Amino acid sequence: MRIAILGGDGYCGWATALHLSNRGHEIAIIDNFLRRQWDFELGVQTLTPIRPLPERLAVWQQLTGRVIEPFIGDVTDYDFLASMISEFRPEAIVHFAEQRSAPYSMIDRKHAVSTQVNNVVGTLNLLFAIRELAPDCHIVKLGTMGEYGTPNIDIEEGFITIEHNGRKDTLPFPKQPGSFYHLSKVHDSHNITFACKIWGLRATDLNQGVVYGTLTDEVDMDEALINRFDYDEVFGTVLNRFCAQAAIGLPLSVYGKGGQTRGFLDIRDTVRCIELVCINPASRGEFRVFNQFTEQFSVLELAKLVQMISREMGVHVEIDHLPDPRVEAETHYYNAKHSRLADLGLEPHLLSDALVNSLINVALRYRDRIDPAMFAPQVNWRAGRNRRRTTSMLGRDLALAKEPLSSSIS
C-alpha cells in the first residue's frame, strides 16, 4: 500500500514508518519538526539522542534498500497538504501530526490555543483535502483513551447502546476529557464522524492508551534509528519518568494516591495495530473506533513494578507521593473494552517482558543525559498560568534555538 505518515518524525510516527516500510509498503513521512522545536522551547531533551531526519532516512535506506519519501511542511497549511496528497497519492493516511501532551496544553492560554489550532485545524484540512483529492483514502486517526475520562461504568469501544424513556439507540460513548489537549481530540473525533457521514469518507479512530518502549525490530537495527525516550514532566510518560528516576537512584514520584488507572501498550503493538487497520480499512462512509491498548495499570502499580525490577537489577529506589498538579480522580473505577484489534489478529506484548530491555536498560545506558530538574511538576491544572524552564537551564547555548530549523535539529 501507499501510506502517508503525518508526524512521521515523532515517537509513534517514526516507529510506524519504519515498520510499514519494512513490511513492503511505500511510505511517505510528512513533518514540520515542531516536536523538536518544543524541546527547545521547554528547555528539555529526549533521553536518547535523535539524529536529523535526513540522516535517519539515509541510514534506513542503506540498511534496507527501501526509500521513505519526506515531505516537509505543516498540516495546518492546506495548500501544502493538498500538494502532498496529489503527488504521493496515498491509499491510507496515518494521522500522528498533533500536539499530544496534556500538560503542554495546560501551561497557559497561548499553549491551549496553539494546541487546539494545530490539532483541530490540521485535521479539518486533512478531511477537506481527502474529500477533494482522494475520497477513497482511508484515514487512520490517532485518538486517545483520555477522550473518555474515567466514568463509573465500563468504557465501550467508541459507542454505547442505551435505553431512555422506552426508546433504544446506539450513540457515541460520552466524552469526559481532562485537558485542552484531550478536548482537541474530542473535537477531531466529532469532525471526522461528521465528514464520514456527509461525504462518505472512511476513517478509523484509534483511541490509544499510554505507549511505552523505544525498541522495535526496525529501530533496533542501528543506533542512528533510535526512537525518543521522553521523561520530562510535560511530554514524558509516567513510566519513562519512573525508569529515568530509577536509573539515577531517585525516588519514584507518584502524583497523589497513585490510583489513576490507564491503558498501556508496547510501541511494537502500536505499529502492528496501525498495519492491521491499514490492511483492513473501514468501508465508505464508515467511522469506526478501536480502543488501542493491551493492559491496564494504576500509577502506583507501575511504580511498584519498576521498584521491584530495579531492585532485582541491584538498583534500590523508594516511592514518594507528591501533590497531584492535575485535576483528576486519584482513585476511580476503570474498565475499558479493547477486543476489536485482537479480533484483527493483534498478539500483544506485555509490559513485564519489555520493562527491562526497552525501558530500564535504555535509561541506564543514557543515564548521563538525565537532568533531575526535568522530573518536578511545574504545570498546574488549576493555575491557568505557569512558569516554564528555558533552554539555558539545560546548559544549552540559547543561540542554538534561534538558528534556522534545518541546522538546529539534534
Which residues make beta-bridge pairs with 28?
4, 69
Grid coordinates representing 195 are 465528514
223, 364 contact by CB (below 8 A): no
Is 116 in contact with 184 (CB distance < 8 Å)? yes
Range of the domain at 290: 2-376+389-408
Q: What is the pLDDT of residue 3?
A: 99
Q: Which pLDDT score is estimated for 404?
A: 32
Give the dihedral sign, CA 257/263/269/271. Answer: negative
**3-state SS, residue 287:** strand
Kindly state the cell numbers that stand for 250. Answer: 531517585
Number of domains in the chain: 1
Helices (H), 68-214: 78-88, 102-105, 109-116, 122-133, 180-199
H or E stretch covering 363 = helix 361-365
- Let me know if residue 239 belongs to a domain: yes
The yes-or-no answer on residue 181 being catalytic is yes
pLDDT of residue 402: 31
Lowest mean pLDDT among 161-165, 169-173, 349-353: 349-353
276's grid cell: 492491521
Overall average pLDDT of the 80-108 stretch: 98
Rounded to the nearest 10 degrees, the angle between the axes of helix 180-199 and helix 122-133 is: 20
Residue 32: closest CA among 77, 66, 2: 77
pLDDT of residue 395: 38
Q: Would you call 66 helix, strand, or coil by DSSP?
A: coil
**pTM for the model:** 0.94
Of 46, 104, 123, 185, the catalytic one is 185
Torsions phi, psi of 66, nearest 5? Answer: -100, 140
pLDDT digits (tens, 9 = 90+) for 249-260: 999 999 999 999
At 387 the pLDDT is 62
Would 366 be classed as within a structural domain? yes
Is 382 within a domain?
no
For the question of residue 141 being annotated catalytic, the response is no
**Residue whose C-alpha cell reads 479539518 in the numeric block:** 124
Domain contains 381:
no
The yes-or-no answer on residue 333 being catalytic is no
Q: For position 123, which CATH number holds?
A: 3.40.50.720
For residue 107, the cross-strand partners are none
Percentage of the chain surpassing pLDDT 70? Answer: 94
Nearest to 292 by CA among 313, 263, 312, 262: 263
Q: Considering 181, 212, 231, 334, which one is annotated as catalytic? A: 181
Summary mean pLDDT of the chain: 94
Binning pLDDT at 50, 70 and 90, where does residue 383 land?
confident
On whether residue 86 sits in a domain, the answer given is: yes
Secondary structure (DSSP) of 77-107: -HHHHHHHHHHH--SEEEE--S---HHHHTS
Report how far residue 167's alpha carbon sits from residue 203's, in angstroms, rounded to the nearest whole number. Answer: 29
Quickly state the pLDDT bin for 388 (edges 50, 70, 90).
low
What confidence tens digit (pLDDT) does each residue in 18-48 have? Answer: 999 999 999 999 999 999 999 999 999 999 9
341-376: pLDDT as tens digits: 999 999 999 999 899 999 999 999 999 999 999 999
Q: Is residue 383 part of a domain?
A: no
**Three cell numbers, residue 262:** 490507564
Report pLDDT digits (tens) over 176-235: 999 999 999 999 999 999 999 999 999 999 999 999 999 999 999 999 999 999 999 999
Q: Has residue 295 been placed in a domain? A: yes
Any idea what the Cα angle at residue 210 is, between residues 347 and 205, rounded to 5°?
A: 75
pLDDT at 53: 98
Q: Sorting pLDDT into bands at 50, 70 and 90, what band is 385?
A: confident
**Would you call 207 helix, strand, or coil by DSSP?**
strand
List, for residues 304-340, the tens digit of each pLDDT value. Answer: 999 999 999 999 999 999 999 999 999 999 999 999 9
- Domain presence at residue 181: yes
Closest-CA residue to 336 (of 290, 302, 305)? 290
| Helices 122-133/78-88 angle, 10° precision | 40
DSSP 109: H
Q: How far is CA 32 from the centre of its chain?
A: 16
Catalytic residue among 46, 115, 123, 144: 144
